Amino acid sequence: MSSSLKLVLNDFADWSSAAGIPQIAYAFNRIVRALWFIIWIGLFAVTIYQFYLIVSRFLSYPMKIVTNLQYGAQDFPVVTFCNNNPLIYSKVKNITAYKKINDLMEQYQSMVKNNYGSITGGDPYGLNTPKTRYEKTEWANEALVLLMNQLTEAQKNNAMYKFGEVIKVCSFNGIECTEANFTSYYDATFGRCFQFNSKDSNSNYRTLRAGSGFGLQVLMLINQFDPNGDNLFLPTTSTAGAKIGINLKGEDPAMESYGISVPVGQETLIGLEFVCL
């Protein structure tokens, strides 16, 4: 070994903080040095082995996932029920305050009987103006909204359906609900609509379980339109039925645009999915 390399190694042994190296450098004799050297090599091997363990554990990319499902009662939405048919026709026919509406209905019915052809002998509500069947129905609906708007509050209230005439059976999570659990409001197109769990009702319904056996169940009575009959009213859409609105508290249900159409003579199930973002 050249003397300069020996100097460097001795210098390293002087300054090294690694245990064992100074003992090797300054051993009394060769035997002690060899012993220290063996001990040092053995421990160095252990170090390399531990280093290997740490790196191999890192490269296995271990991960720990804690799955935590939280079930709890969810807020029930506000549910709105509207009859497509805004007024009770027997009242409209008999009471002079509703004469204009009755005239519109008679014109509409004669137009339907005439297969949506032109009305002869005066057309005060302009039902001849639109050309297609769909547009004529829309036109009649709009005329009805405008004529209803001319009625006083008392006249509207008198001819609109009452709770018991539309909602026959109601239960929420198996508990009966009555008129007291609903609020109502006047909708320009659908007349009186009934709301369950609305902001004004001071109730705050929550639901714990999913499925059709839970939540709100309602049986509605809706008169069907019969163009030849004379005791039923024009439905505001081309078929009789109801509209169901589902909203958050305080939201405008906007029934004409967003109401879900529900047919007569059918059971309709509406399910909601709670999404956690």
Residues of this chain that interact with ligand NAG (CB under 6 A) are: 90-91, 94, 172, 175, 177-178, 180-181
Alpha-carbon distance 231 to 215, whole Å?
35
**Min CB(157)–ligand NAG separation in Å:** 15
Cα-Cα-Cα-Cα torsion 44, 48, 50, 51, nearest 10 degrees, comes to 130
Which C-beta is closer to ligand NAG: that of 135 or that of 179?
A: 179
**Min CB(126)–ligand NAG separation in Å:** 28
Which C-beta is closer to ligand NAG: that of 50 or that of 90?
A: 90
Alpha-carbon distance 106 to 230, whole Å?
9
**To which residue do tokens 């999913």 refer?**
210
Which C-beta is closer to ligand NAG: that of 59 or that of 180?
A: 180
Which C-beta is closer to ligand NAG: that of 88 or that of 262?
A: 88
Which C-beta is closer to ligand NAG: that of 57 or that of 168?
A: 168
> Which of 204, 161, 218, 208 minimizes the C-alpha distance to 184?
161
Does residue 256 contact residue 144 with C-beta atoms inside 8 Å? no
**DSSP-assigned beta bridge partners for residue 215:** none
Which C-beta is closer to ligand NAG: that of 161 or that of 172?
A: 172
249, two tokens: 């508290």
Measured in whole angstroms, the distance separating CA 98 from the mean position of its chain's CA atoms is: 40
**Min CB(89)–ligand NAG separation in Å:** 9
**Min CB(134)–ligand NAG separation in Å:** 32
**Min CB(205)–ligand NAG separation in Å:** 7
**Min CB(216)–ligand NAG separation in Å:** 8
Which C-beta is closer to ligand NAG: that of 125 or that of 196?
A: 196
Which C-beta is closer to ligand NAG: that of 66 or that of 180?
A: 180
> Which of 230, 213, 256, 210 minimizes the C-alpha distance to 82?
256
**To which residue do tokens 């004004």 refer?**
200
> Which of 46, 150, 38 minimizes the C-alpha distance to 103?
150
**Min CB(174)–ligand NAG separation in Å:** 8
**Min CB(118)–ligand NAG separation in Å:** 30
Helices 99-113 and 133-149, interaxial angle, to 10°? 170
| Sequence-distant (≥ 6) Cβ neighbours of residue 117 within 8 angstroms | 111
Does residue 244 contact residue 262 with C-beta atoms inside 8 Å? yes
